[in-house]
């Protein structure tokens, strides 16, 4: 028997309610919000039809902050209270901010847990709070356009944002009253928009140069699957750096010192930005700037000079491009298309240099400002449940390896970089000392073999381990990275089930140079790292052997050894102790071999004595089946 859908005469059958969802591109210079309307992903404008929301927040002595200022004059007249490019501060600590401080006029102050705050007339605000104001404005824009509250959003982040920067973005969304369905890497969002529009299959490079960040990702499109093969980039490189190069040229040409007041410097940055935008379409740009002494300076920047100025900045993006090809294990000739994303890719010089590197003409047919938001909107529409039958699959990757510290200051990597996420990996570890009842789990990020050469993410302690001999306990450490790229770590002692864990939420991010240095150093020092790791492993084994022998001698030395035998063991033990902290692993290895030979008969006697003690007072048939 079949069932029929019955409705009142003249009433159309009910259709599933369309849920309101949006994709948000939270950018350094500008931000956008997009949604799927009538099965078409479109960016949502303000009341005047503007699509881009400047990522600028001005704090006032009284009243609510103003967001998305179109009047750039406030940046010049009130620079300390008009916050722009806040994305560069997300997830960074005070020390990281200080490296950028000379590029911005703001007064940074330290607060709880090392999170920096920006001092304004309205109070001190963290980058998370400033970003939340931008997200609130986008939320209002979307809800007005869609006619009701949002049920969820997808927010894009640079692929090279680390865990701290991703978590800061989620925190900002929570402050703005948004439910985050997923954090989506910006190149992947662009790939969704581009791939679904074009239906292109093969290996693609997504070159994303925004206002403050740069990403390069290699993706394979095949039958609805977007697989990220590798990703690289710089979370503090973008159009702002191009502006800064032009501004330095302007200061020199106009005879204005770098010690000029902040209002003057901000005005120079404003003119630099205008010149950059103009020179994407014209051959020269004229300036008329008032100097601090009141004199008017007039000048002109030719495109050929402009390109010479910015070429070193663009070259900095090509080093990650080389690395990502190597990581993906492909040749540049395997790339079928290059997709350009981000407002800075409008510059002809950028397109020319990228085209020359990849040996093909980059695709620029999709608006580079809108493509990320559109891709996020498509993904949000799927995740909120409007397309339950959609079979599109996203396979993103993590940018840097994750592991824990082991004895000797070594790193045991549980999840290598460029592993597809979401992912869960577990590995068993054991205790180092007899009777050990607790273990500190130190989570690190990076590519080097020593903890000191990597970045510390978090520490937590597993307590309640049953006291056993060294090596008897079994502790399973599990790393889980979710689809947003956020990490949680747990540790469990298997015999008792005692367990503890942590969601890794560091209060600072990687500095501009650290990610590049981590990867470059891992290659430069690969041979040295192997040697150091081998040495440390022998040193740890030597320490373990010394501890075991010392305990055994204390317990049974007098009872089971003659004076001559004890002297031979003491001599071998002293020889190992003498070379244990040296840098000759072969000497340590030989000393351990000598100690093994000297103690072989002692170990056999201890075993026999242990068996004898266990059997004393019992009959043989008590142990038979």
- The 10s digit of each residue's pLDDT in 472-504 is 888 888 888 877 777 888 888 888 888 887 666
Question: What is the assigned CATH class of domain 398-512?
Answer: mainly beta
Q: How many Å from the N-terminal Cα to the C-terminal Cα in the chain?
A: 65
Give per-residue pLDDT as tens, 375-421.
Answer: 999 999 988 888 765 545 566 677 778 888 887 788 888 888 778 77
**Mean pLDDT, rounded, of the chain:** 81
pLDDT score of 5: 40
Q: So what's the pLDDT on residue 2? A: 38
Token pair for 529 = 């790292």
Annotated catalytic residue within 87, 136, 170, 370: 87
Residue 328 reports pLDDT greater than 60? yes
Separation between Cα atoms, residue 223 and residue 201, nearest integer Å: 8
Whether 87 is a known active-site residue: answer yes
pLDDT at 573 over 60: yes
Neighbours of 503 (CB within 10 A): 14
Residue 369 CB: number of other CB atoms within 10 A? 21
Query: What gap in Å lies between CA 539 and CA 559, rounded to an integer?
Result: 30
- Look at strands 21-25 and 152-157 and give their pairing: parallel
Is 453 among the residues known to form the active site?
A: no
Instruction: Report pLDDT digits (tens) over 27-50.
Output: 988 899 999 998 888 999 887 778
Q: Is the pLDDT of residue 234 over 50?
A: yes
**If you count them, how many residues does the chain have?**
625
- pTM of the predicted protein model: 0.62
Is residue 371 over pLDDT 70? yes
77 is catalytic: no
Taking the alpha carbons of 504, 168, 28, 308 in that order, is the dihedral positive or negative? negative
Retrieve residue 58's tokens.
């001005």
d(CA 48, CA 46): 5
Listed residue (448, 445, 449) closest to 458, CA to CA: 445
Classify residue 114 as exposed, middle or buried by CB count within 10 Å of its CB (0-12, 13-18, 19+). middle
Helix (H, G, I), strand (E, B) or coil at 306: helix
* CATH fit for domain 527-615, picks 1.10.10.10, 1.10.645.10, 3.40.190.10, 1.20.1270.10: 1.20.1270.10
Q: How many Cβ atoms sit within 10 Å of the Cβ of residue 463? A: 10
Over its C-alpha atoms, the chain yields an Rg (Å, rounded) of 31
CATH 3.50.30.50 corresponds to the domain 240-309: no
Q: Is the pLDDT of residue 162 over 90?
A: no
Distance CA(285)–CA(42), nearest Å, equals 33
Mean pLDDT of 280-306: 89
Confidence of residue 505 (pLDDT cuts 50, 70, 90): low
**Catalytic pick from 96, 129, 163, 186?**
186
136 carries an active-site annotation: no
Q: Tell me whether domains 21-239+310-396 and 398-512 share a fold.
A: no
Across the range 266-291, mean pLDDT stands at: 89
Domain parsing of the chain, residue ranges: 21-239+310-396, 240-309, 398-512, 527-615
Closest to 135 in 3D by CA, of 115, 157, 119, 118: 157
Which CATH number does 21-239+310-396 carry? 3.30.420.40
Residue pair 475/439 in contact (Cβ under 8 Å)? The answer is: yes
């Amino acid at each position: 028997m079949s069932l029929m859908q019955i409705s009142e005469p003249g009433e159309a059958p009910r259709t599933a309610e369309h849920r309101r969802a949006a994709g948000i591109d939270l950018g350094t210079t500008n931000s956008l919000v997009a949604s799927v309307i009538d099965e078409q992903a479109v960016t949502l404008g303000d009341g005047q039809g503007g699509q881009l929301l400047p990522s600028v927040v001005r704090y006032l002595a009284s009243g609510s902050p103003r967001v998305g200022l179109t009047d750039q004059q406030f940046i010049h007249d009130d620079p300390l209270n008009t916050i722009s490019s806040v994305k560069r501060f997300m997830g960074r600590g005070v020390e990281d901010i200080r490296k950028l401080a000379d590029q911005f006029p703001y007064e940074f102050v330290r607060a709880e847990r090392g999170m920096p705050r920006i001092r304004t007339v309205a109070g001190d605000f963290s980058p998370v709070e400033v970003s939340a104001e931008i997200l609130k404005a986008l939320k209002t824009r979307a809800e007005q356009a869609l006619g009701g509250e949002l049920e969820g959003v997808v927010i894009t982040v640079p692929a090279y944002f680390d865990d701290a920067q991703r978590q800061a973005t989620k925190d900002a969304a929570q402050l703005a009253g948004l439910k985050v369905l997923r954090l989506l890497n910006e190149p992947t969002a662009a790939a969704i928009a581009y791939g679904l529009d074009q239906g292109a299959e093969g290996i693609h490079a997504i070159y994303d140069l925004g206002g403050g960040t740069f990403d390069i990702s290699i993706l394979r499109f095949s039958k609805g699957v977007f697989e990220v093969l590798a990703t690289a980039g710089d979370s503090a490189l973008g159009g702002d750096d191009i502006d800064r190069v032009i501004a330095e040229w302007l200061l020199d040409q106009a005879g204005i010192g770098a010690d000029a007041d902040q209002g003057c410097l901000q005005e120079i940055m404003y003119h630099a930005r205008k010149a950059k935008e103009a020179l994407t379409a014209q051959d020269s740009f004229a300036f008329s700037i008032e100097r601090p002494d009141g004199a008017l300076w007039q000048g002109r920047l030719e495109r050929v000079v402009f390109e010479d100025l910015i070429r070193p900045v663009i070259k900095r993006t090509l080093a990650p491009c080389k690395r990502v090809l190597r990581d993906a294990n492909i040749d540049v000739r395997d790339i079928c298309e290059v997709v350009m994303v981000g407002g800075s890719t409008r510059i002809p010089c950028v397109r020319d240099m990228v085209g020359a590197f990849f040996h093909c003409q980059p695709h620029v047919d999709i608006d580079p400002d809108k493509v990320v938001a559109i891709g996020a909107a498509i993904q949000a529409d799927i995740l909120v449940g409007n397309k339950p039958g959609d079979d599109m699959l996203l396979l993103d990757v993590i940018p840097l390896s994750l592991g824990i510290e082991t004895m000797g200051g070594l790193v045991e990597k549980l999840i290598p970089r460029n592993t597809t996420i979401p992912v869960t990996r577990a590995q068993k570890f054991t205790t180092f000392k007899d009777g050990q009842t607790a273990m500190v789990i130190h989570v690190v990020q990076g590519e080097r073999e020593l903890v000191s050469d990597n970045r510390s993410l978090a520490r937590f302690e597993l307590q309640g381990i049953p006291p056993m001999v060294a090596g008897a306990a079994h502790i399973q450490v599990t790393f889980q990275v979710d689809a947003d790229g956020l990490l949680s770590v747990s540790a469990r002692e298997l015999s008792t089930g005692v367990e503890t864990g942590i969601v890794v939420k560091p209060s600072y991010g990687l500095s501009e140079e650290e990610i590049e240095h981590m990867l470059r150093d891992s290659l430069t020092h690969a041979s040295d790292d192997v040697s150091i790791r081998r040495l440390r492993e022998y040193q740890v084994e030597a320490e373990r052997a010394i501890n075991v022998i010392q305990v055994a001698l204390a317990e049974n030395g007098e009872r089971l050894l003659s004076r001559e035998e004890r002297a031979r063991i003491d001599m071998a033990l002293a020889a190992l102790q003498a070379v244990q902290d040296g840098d000759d692993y072969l000497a340590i290895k030989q000393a351990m071999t000598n100690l093994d030979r000297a103690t072989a008969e002692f170990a056999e006697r201890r075993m026999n004595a242990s068996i004898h003690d266990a059997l004393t007072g019992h009959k043989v048939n008590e142990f038979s089946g």
